[in-house]
Amino acid sequence: MKNSLKIKCPAKINLTLEIVNKREDGFHNIKSIMQTISLYDYLTIQTSESTTSKIILNGNSNEIPYDETNLVYKAAKLYVDTANIKNRQIEIFIEKNIPIAAGLAGGSTDAAGTIFGLNKIFGEPLTYKELHDLCASLGSDLNVCLEGGCILATSRGEVIQNLPVVKNDITLIKPKNLGISAKEAYTKYSLKELKPQNNNTEKMQKAILENKNINEFLYNDLEYAIFNDYSELQKIKRNYPNSIMSGSGSTYFVLENIKESALDENYLVIDNLHFVTSGVEIVSA
């Protein structure tokens, strides 16, 4: 059993995101093609013997809580309870590089990385399927981040199917002072009388399977839901007409490497990124 591990946790984007209907549990059924990309948070997980079970979080960001409300804490607590880990102190340092409230699954990938990393540290008492079950119980994007690569996600996002590898450069564009919650985006979508039925997910899946260009099928129902409410998003679209919002926003992406941004200092531009085939994984022991 190892006492320390470092895990890298990739961001994800939604190449498509289409909402099927609202579920009785309050969530929405979706169909989405998601892709992990080369932007990473890093977790340093250390464990030691203790008279009680204890989880301690810390990190480099002042934008997230380091208490039991953090999804990493919830993931660690769920893991130790499920795996019946007793009398261990678990310390997790979160190096945050993925913007928060950005539609990039920053919290979800860190939680998936926590479950994966703890299972490695404690000698893999849980099977890979059991790790996926834990991920599914915590949120909608964790399973994609655990698995990695190009994924067809259905139900509320936790039912996943691997798709062939897609290679692409990518640039992220985010208004620095705008974060959008999933609740806001989904609520605004539900209020829309006209709900497009483009079936872009099926079209893109077919294009991927046939090794064809996917750009024309990029689409997001949640962008449609909130776009008119935010001038910051409209400015991105004016400058980059081919850009698409990821998740519930506020991050947009283009499938190319932008050398020089056409936007001002109020926008964060992260370039030199690419699609990756992996999910959360060990960096070093």
Q: What CA–CA distance (Å, rounded) separates 249 from 227? A: 10
141 is catalytic: yes
CA atoms within 13 A on the CB side of 142: 23
CA atoms within 13 A on the CB side of 133: 8
- The pair phi, psi for residue 13, each rounded to 5°, is -120, 160
235 is catalytic: no
Through-space distance between the first and last CA atoms of the chain, rounded to whole angstroms: 11
Give the torsion sign (CA, 141, 95, 72, 62): negative
> What are 80's two structure tokens?
């130790």
Amino acid symbol at 211: N
Residue 24, class by beta-carbon neighbours within 10 Å (0-12 exposed, 13-18 middle, 19+ buried)? exposed
List the catalytic residue out of 41, 110, 141, 221.
141
List the catalytic residue out of 8, 12, 31, 74.
12
8 A C-beta contact, residue 8 and residue 40? yes
Let me know how long the chain is.
285
8 A C-beta contact, residue 27 and residue 187? no
Query: Which alpha helices (DSSP H) does 124-277 contain, by range?
Result: 128-138, 142-147, 182-191, 200-209, 221-226, 231-239
> What are 114's two structure tokens?
């926590």
> What are 78's two structure tokens?
């769920």
Reported as type and span, the H/E element at residue 115 is helix 106-121
8 A C-beta contact, residue 227 and residue 85? no
Active site residues: 12, 141
